[in-house]
Amino acid sequence: MPSPEVWRRVPSWDWHRAGAEAVRARTIINAAQHAEKLEGGSSAEADRLLRALPGIGVWTSAEVRQRAHGDPDAPSVGDYHLPSVVGYAFTGQKTDDAGMLELLEPFAGHRHRVIRLIELSGIRPPARGPRMAARDYRSI
């Protein structure tokens, strides 16, 4: 994994070629500038510090804490598909973020682990229509 210093030095054209628009690149560079503060504390402290940075919300904070802190209780609220997958696994019906959190409440302390187990089980709601085409930002 590149160090925060390496992330801070990535030139703008490399971000562009990688498909990361300028606002996303600025968010990553800003987070790299605060890396030392983010690395030392608890997952709860990392959540507070991450969400104080412009461009980082609840979803990004959860994703970072899952991977960097191994947080077993960081559900990715705001994920496009996840509530439907969790709702379908528990009830056979799709749900929203609030419904997902309600279904996961009995597993407090392990909500991310439960989500990963559901994802690995292969249980998914039926597909409804064609897949969305991926956007290629590199030629812009």
Mean pLDDT of the chain: 93
Contact 47, 61 (CB under 8 A): yes
Q: pTM above 0.85?
A: no
Q: What is the pLDDT of residues 39-74, one digit of tens each?
A: 878 899 999 999 999 999 999 999 999 999 999 999
Please compute the mean of the pLDDT values over residues 117-138 and round it to a whole number: 86
Per-residue pLDDT tens for 73-99?
999 999 999 999 999 999 999 999 999
Which whole-number Å values give the CA distances from 13 to 29, 33, 113, in the listed order?
14, 20, 38
Hey, where are the domains in the chain? Answer: 4-68, 82-121
Say how far apart CA 76 and CA 113 lie, in whole Å.
11
